[in-house]
Amino acid sequence: MDLGAYAQIDNLEWIMEDNGIEIPRLRGLRLMKNEKPVSKEELLDMAKSDGLYRCVKLCQSIPPFSLNATLSEMSNRTDAICEYYLELPKYEDGSFNHLEPVGVRWDRVHGKKRKAFKYVIKKAKKEVFRQFDMWNKYCGINDVLYIHARLGSGNWGGYDCDKVVKSQPWFLDYVEDYFDCTYVDIYAKIKTPEM
């Protein structure tokens, strides 16, 4: 969820109406002329952070290290798995911060577990770069509106977005959110807003 875009809905919704844009499950808007590109260093930091977060999720999946798990568990047992396989920062009281690992203990990760960790780290990097390469492509352009909507994954087909969104004359591009695939970023060509 892009909270910055969410906060701008009331101010920018008129642009959608003025351009004949209708999006179900709208969650945010931004004028791309006001946005700045994301640097490669920032992208690498985001990719690393998200990759490590996905490693935590692997440790918490049921069964552990399952790439297609639909259930997860947060318990002392999964905390111990995280502590064994991940480099975790410590709080002042000596306990570990399981939500923000700083690295993987590769010397302890072998076989299928190693493949699973490498896969989710690689996937995180790919998805972060896909989303923000598109963001950077449209940054600073006067006649582009960024639309954040809850139309990712199965919702895209459920709302017939190929017809409702992609086939519209204003449609430029879309990409799923790297962190929560139930959201998408849609880019729309608009008449240059007078503000």
Q: Domain coordinates of the chain in residue numbers?
A: 3-36+139-189, 40-127
Q: What is the DSSP string of 163-181?
A: IIIITSTTEEEEEE-SS-T
CA distance linking residue 155 with residue 137, whole number of Å: 25
- Cα angle 115-118-120, degrees, rounded to a multiple of 5: 105
Strands 184-189 and 86-87: unpaired
Q: How far apart are CA 99 and CA 24, in angstroms?
A: 33
**pTM: predicted TM-score of the whole model, two decimal places:** 0.85
CA distances from 60 to 106, 108, 112, 113, 181 (A): 18, 17, 16, 13, 19
Name 95's Cβ contacts closer than 8 Å, sequence gap at least 6: none
Count how many residues are written for the chain.
195
Q: What is the pLDDT along the chain (195 residues), one digit of tens a residue?
A: 688 889 989 999 999 999 999 998 999 999 999 999 999 999 999 999 999 999 999 999 999 999 999 899 999 999 999 999 999 888 887 777 777 899 999 999 999 999 999 999 999 999 999 999 999 999 999 999 999 999 988 788 888 888 888 999 999 999 999 988 899 999 999 987 565
